[in-house]
Amino acid sequence: MGQRTHRPTSDPIAEFFAELGRRGHEPLLEKAKGSARFEVTDGRRTERWRVTIDKGNLGVSRRNAAADCILRLDRSSFERAVAGKLNLMAAVLRGEVGIGGDVRLLVLLRRLFLKPPRRRSPTARKKP
């Protein structure tokens, strides 16, 4: 008998990009225009998604085409970003995410991701 491996029933990265494509228009990006290519690595394999923004109108494809901003990160980091557990800008500063091209576009792209949960200060007092 062959050994079975457990595969997740859904891919959070593919779902994230599918949702962006369905969204069509993002009001938070109405003043933005540009494109970004996300290169997600998993071992030797690299998956690419290209997101275009034209005054809030979003387009998503799997084309490996030129882009204004290119982000390169491993699959687990991108899954954390999609889940709101990784701030992409902070990850760039730590060297966890590689970036090329127009870095300013990343500031706008962050609006497409969930915000990381706020951490409570250990000295914060509970309200009665």
Q: What is the pLDDT of residues 64-73, one digit of tens each?
A: 999 999 999 9
22 within some domain: yes
78 within some domain: yes
Length of the chain: 128
Taking the C-alpha atoms of residue 48 and residue 44, their distance in angstroms, rounded to an integer, is 13
Q: According to the model, what pLDDT value does residue 10 have?
A: 84
Q: What is the pLDDT of residues 6-43, one digit of tens each?
A: 455 589 999 999 999 999 899 989 999 999 999 999 99
CATH classification at residue 91: 3.30.1050.10
Task: Supply the range of the domain harboring residue 81.
Answer: 12-112
91 within some domain: yes
Closest CA relative to residue 87, chosen from 64, 119, 60: 119
94 within some domain: yes
Summary mean pLDDT of the chain: 86
Taking the C-alpha atoms of residue 79 and residue 1, their distance in angstroms, rounded to an integer, is 33
128 within some domain: no
124 within some domain: no
Handedness of CA 117, 121, 122, 124 (dihedral sign): negative
19 within some domain: yes
Q: What is the pLDDT of residues 81-92, one digit of tens each?
A: 999 999 999 999
Over residues 50-65, the mean pLDDT reads 95
- The number of distinct structural domains making up the chain is 1
Give the CA distances from residue 29 to residues 37, 74, 100, 112, in Å, rounded to whole numbers and listed in that order: 17, 26, 21, 9
Banded pLDDT at 100 (limits 50, 70, 90)? very high
Q: What percent of the chain has pLDDT over 70?
A: 81
